[in-house]
Structure 1
Amino acid sequence: MKKDIEIPEVKDVHVAVVQEKHLEYKTLDWNAYIINNSDEDLETVLIVARGYSDTKITPVMRHTIAKLPGRSYAKIEFLQEKVLALNNEFKITYFIGNQMFDKSYLFRKNTINEKALQTVPLMQLKGILVK
């Protein structure tokens, strides 16, 4: 039964959107990353990403990472400039051992911008972090 499933609180796993220089095209791109700031390895990481507003919605993007080691990060996807004006949501589910964890991370519309940049843990790059 659903009521019997316990999903513990997610700690030390974050999503960040980082502005990075694209070496080939010489552009500044926004890329979303998952950050595992814990000592535990994350297994079977499932990520569902979407952008939305009252009048627009993007196609749902699904990503899988087999294993994300402790104290590491992985790129989720590139974000086009047009979707920064939308709410961008990342639903992340993963396992540590036999325990399932699940959390949604939301970047509200227009919050991904150069004025909001801060240093992102582990990456030592400037970006916007949702905990």
Structure 2
Amino acid sequence: MKKDLPDNNVEDIAIAVALEKESVESKIWYVYVINLKDVQIENVLITSKGYGEKNGEHVKTSVLRHMIPTIEPGAFALIEPIDEATFGLNNEYWLSYYIGKEIFDKKFIFLPESIVESNFIRLPVLNKPGVMIR
């Protein structure tokens, strides 16, 4: 049962949307998971989906699932490319991982129009411009 699960808080893990390349015609964006911990995380599972309203209609994207065997301390891993057309939606990333035999999980949600230049920072570890949720 849910009450039997440990209450493990996710700390020092981030999901980031980074601007990879920019040209006159287009921008290329990628989503990363960043391990800011000083320990390795293992069996990293991530589901991603987009949902919300566009032009007055309810819109949902496909649910994608990703598995990353390990992410070393102070390292990052690519989750997926992301299309600018979804920036007007809620972009949700549900992350689960293990440290030893303990499981951790957290939902990260980029709200509509939050992935904009005025919210950019220099992403740690990646050293690229983008938006990050910790």
Task: Assess same fold via TM > 0.5.
Answer: yes
Query: In 2, Cα distance between the equivalents of 1:111 and 1:64?
Result: 26
Which residue number corresponds to residue 16 of structure 1? 16
Give the structure 2 partner of residue 37 of structure 1.
36
Overall identity of the aligned pairs, in %: 35
Aligned position for 2:119: 116
1:115 is displaced (CA, Å) by 2.2
> Which amino acid is the alignment partner of residue 29 of structure 1?
I
Q: Which amino acid aligns with 1:7?
A: D
Match of 2:4 in 1: 4
The 5-angstrom pairing of residues 2-81 of structure 1 reads: 2-21=2-21, 27-54=26-53, 55-81=58-84
Count of aligned positions: 129
Name stretches of at least 5 consecutive residues in structure 2 with no aligned partner. Answer: none
Query: Which ranges in structure 1 are unaligned for 5 or more consecutive residues?
Result: none
Taking structure 2 as the reference length, the TM-score comes to 0.90
What TM-score, normalized to structure 1?
A: 0.92
Moved >2 Å (runs of 4+): none
Shift of 1:70: 0.8
Secondary structure of the 1:56 match is strand
Match of 1:86? 89
With over 3 angstroms needed to count, the CA separation of the structure-2 counterparts of 1:22 and 1:43, relative to structure 1, is: farther
SS in 1 for 2:79: strand
Q: CA 1:70 to 1:19, structure 2 compared with 1: closer, same or farther past 3 Å? A: same
Asked whether the equivalents of residues 7 and 102 of structure 1 are also in contact (C-alpha less than 8 Å), the reply is: no
